[in-house]
Amino acid sequence: MLEIVPYETQYQSAFKSINEQWIKTYFEMEESDYKALDNPQAYILNTGGHIFIALLDNIAVGSCALIKMDHDSYDYELAKMAVSPSAQGKKIGFLLGKTALDKAKELGAQKIYLESNTKLKPAIALYRKLGFQEITGYSSPYQRCDIQMECIL
């Protein structure tokens, strides 16, 4: 059974390992990754963000975060979305993204930002399906980022 649940500290190691595995498959871990993954409580949750964990038969197989942004145009960044290879193809990424966007709407957010890389074709297709459109003009702390997108809620 698939369930999307709010982050609890018991999921910290799964949150880190699922994201680390995904990032290392395509890229290299960067300083900003370690900040968010080593201490999600301080970096994401304590600053007004939210993390969602996908549980498949009570095993953490995916994650997605809403990171509160201090920005004129954007309320949150959709980030740290990853699904374990063994659980891919089950629409878990879409459900995580939808859960995060629904939470953002509930909190009164109007625009959500995300960063990605165009070589991740399935991820870009997923973001478009969730309502994100490509934008330009923002700098990223990530070397791997070559596309920015926004979703107007």
Tell me the HSE value of 153 on the side-chain side, using a 13 A CA sphere. 23
Strand order in 111-116's β-sheet? 2-6, 50-56, 59-68, 76-83, 111-116, 147-152, 133-135
Q: Where are the domains of the chain?
A: 2-152
Mapped onto helix, strand or coil, the DSSP state of residue 110 is coil
Can you give the pLDDT at residue 79? 94
**Which DSSP category does 1 fall into?**
-
Q: Which of 65, 59, 60 is nearest to 37 (CA)?
A: 65
Q: Could you report the per-residue pLDDT of 3-28, keeping only the tens digit for each? A: 999 999 999 999 999 999 999 998 99
Do the strands 111-116 and 76-83 form a parallel or antiparallel pair, or are they unpaired?
parallel
Under 8 Å between Cβ of 78 and 66: yes
Q: Could you report the per-residue pLDDT of 17-59, keeping only the tens digit for each? A: 999 999 999 899 988 899 899 999 999 999 999 999 999 999 9
How far apart CA 70 and CA 52 sit, in angstroms, is 21
Q: Which fold has domain 2-152?
A: Aminopeptidase (3.40.630)
Does the global pTM surpass 0.75? yes
